[in-house]
Structure 1
Amino acid sequence: MKTNGAVSGKIGWLLKSLLAAYALTGILLLGLAMILYKLNVEESVVSAGIIGIYVTSTFFGGLIIGKMAKVRRFFWGLLLGVSYFLLLLIITLGVYRTLDGAVAGFASTFFLCAGGGMFGGMIS
């Protein structure tokens, strides 16, 4: 039986890029947690830091997938950003089991993740 190497290769690109983006997210969130531990900062600063981490991580993942794809890099970056957001949404639903009126926050997070990934893909 013959497998399609191009499809598995493209899925592999996406999975590797997502893994790198989430690894960077973990490292940056750990750094933010240490800053919060040492300093008393307001909730707005924490929210801005988390949003910055999402954008930075998807940008980094978009760079990686764009380097691997070499063609239609903006599309692959956008796909990475959307995948990052969907995985984030699934994790949130798994932990909290509800979205409780956070639709506006999720919409802005979606566009930031998608835009960060797409910009990273275009820059690569």
Structure 2
Amino acid sequence: MNIQSKMKTRDAKNNPVTAVLVSVLVMFLLSCLFLLLLAALLYKFDLSESAVKVGIVVIYIVSGVIGGFFMGKIMKTQKFLWGFAAGAIYFCILFLISVLVKQGVSMELPKVATTFILCAASGMAGGMIS
């Protein structure tokens, strides 16, 4: 018998923590790149506050869909749940960073809930299309 056939390989299904970390890292890298692009557009075109808010929402959605897509491709089963998990973890990290930077919660509950739904639903959508 071959040694390789005896050895059990660890893949993403056996270690979903690694898959979640990779997906969330991809989401944050994309968010950083898109935020830099938004900042450049703000500088160049003097965008209004409402345009910046729309841009931030679009960044949440695009990052969530792509991260959920990666999560679905890695996990291969129950893709929508894994995409939802990646989006929810992405939101939790964003929320934690926001609380630490602002030294408290300054957003109203409906805005927090809306942002959570955007992140989690876009992650789930990405998982479903993977």
TM-score normalised according to structure 1 size: 0.92
Considering only CA atoms, is the larger Rg found in Structure 1 or Structure 2? 2
Instruction: Determine helix, strand or coil for the equivalent of 1:100.
Output: coil
CA distance in structure 1 between the aligned counterparts of 2:102 and 2:14, rounded to whole angstroms: 33
Distance 1:123 1:7, change over 3 A: closer
Q: 1:16 aligns with which of 22, 37, 60?
A: 22
- Residue 117 of structure 2 is aligned to residue 111 of structure 1: yes
Q: Which residue of 2 aligns with 1:30?
A: 36
What is the root-mean-square deviation of aligned Cα atoms in Å? 1.6
Q: Which runs of 5+ in 2 are unaligned?
A: 1-9
State how many pairs are aligned.
121
TM-score normalised according to structure 2 size: 0.88
- Superposed, which structure 2 residues align to 1:1-124 within 5 Å? 9-124=15-130
CA contact (8 A) 2:12 2:75 kept: no
CA distance in structure 1 between the aligned counterparts of 2:12 and 2:39, rounded to whole angstroms: 40
Percentage identity across paired residues of the two chains: 39
Q: Which runs of 5+ in 1 are unaligned?
A: none
